[in-house]
Amino acid sequence: MSRTLQAGELVLLTDRKGRRYLVTLAEGREFHTHAGSVAHDALIGSTEGIQVRTTRNAELTVWRPTLRDYVLKMPRGAQVVYPKDSAAIMMLADVFPGARVLESGVGSGALSMSLLRAGAMVLGYEIREDFAQRAEENVKAFLGSDVSERYQLEIRDCSLGIDANELDRVVLDLPEPWKVVPHAAASLHPGGILAAYTPSIVQAVQLREACEAGPWAAASTVEILHRGWHIKEDAVRPEHRMVGHTGFVTTARRLAG
């Protein structure tokens, strides 16, 4: 049986033009756009997938947001890792349920959410307290507060060391990941995977050089190109616009010894 929408839940409202609104349902409240308003009470108690009309007769479809929807709409401190890259990182870093993962920096918590959703136990190092707080709020808003058992944040500079051992994975999104490579080598068990997201190829090259100097093998750097297609009747072609660049994903595995 489908679960009905409850007060306190997040919903995504989409309109005919593809506009998307993230709303937390509350009894007695109204959602307003330039195209009219809808009472939250009209949504509470119904199932997702319903279509409702605003006071000005605009149609809105109601969904529970996916992780991707949420990441693209949530409040941000730092720039987030985009869903296409988070998805690839989960596979390239082989994140599994119960994996012990060190993540740094934590930023807005977008990548944390993918790691937690994949079942990992995440220790996050973030140098900015305001970002760590924002990340924690975002993560709890989407995944619920039970996730705190698997999500531990510390205000620390990851380039100064990692206070953990027997890690399965180290996942980095910070400007100078090469400074973390020796600490990752000390904390990962043999076969463990280091994955780093870097907007610039120069950063990726510097990271690869740092890996050359240590107990690492199977190093690889990729970028993920994601091209949407427009499919409508006879018009079947790639979309005119695409996000041309986000970042590179570099991975390497720790050798024994």
Residues forming contacts to ligand SAH in the complex (CB under 6 A) are 78-81, 104-105, 107-111, 125-128, 131, 157-159, 173-175
Closest to 164 in 3D by CA, of 106, 104, 217: 104
Position 103, amino acid:
E
**Buried-exposed string 173-184: b where 16+ CB fall within 10 A, e elsewhere:** bbeebbbbbbbb
| Residue among 62, 31, 154 at smallest CA distance from 102 | 154
Residue with Cβ nearer ligand SAH (168 or 173): 173
Closer CB to ligand SAH, residue 52 or residue 127?
127
Nearer to ligand SAH, 58 or 181 (CB): 181
Which residues are within 8 A (CB) of 160 and not within 5 positions of it... i.e. 6 or more apart?
none
How far is Cα 122 from Cα 143, in angstroms, rounded to an integer? 14
Q: Shortest approach of ligand SAH to residue 53 CB, angstroms?
A: 36
Angle between helices 129-143 and 110-117 (to 10 degrees): 40
Smallest gap, in angstroms, from Cβ of residue 122 to ligand SAH? 12
Is the backbone of residue 124 left (phi > 0), alpha (psi -120 to 50) or beta? Answer: beta
Q: Which residue, 226 or 237, has its beta carbon nearer to ligand SAH? A: 226
Phi, psi of 141 (to 5 degrees): -60, -35
C-alpha span between 154 and 158 (Å, rounded): 10
Min. distance of Cβ 192 from ligand SAH in angstroms?
19
Residue 193: beta bridge partners?
A: 169, 253
What residue is closest to ligand SAH based on CB?
105
Please report, as a single letter, which amino acid is at residue 248: F
CB of 193 to ligand SAH, least distance (A): 17
Closest distance of CB 95 from ligand SAH, Å:
14
Q: Which is nearer to ligand SAH, 60 or 188 (CB)?
A: 188
**Count of all residues that appear for the chain in the document:** 257
Q: Which is nearer to ligand SAH, 38 or 174 (CB)?
A: 174
Least CB distance to ligand SAH at residue 112 (A):
7
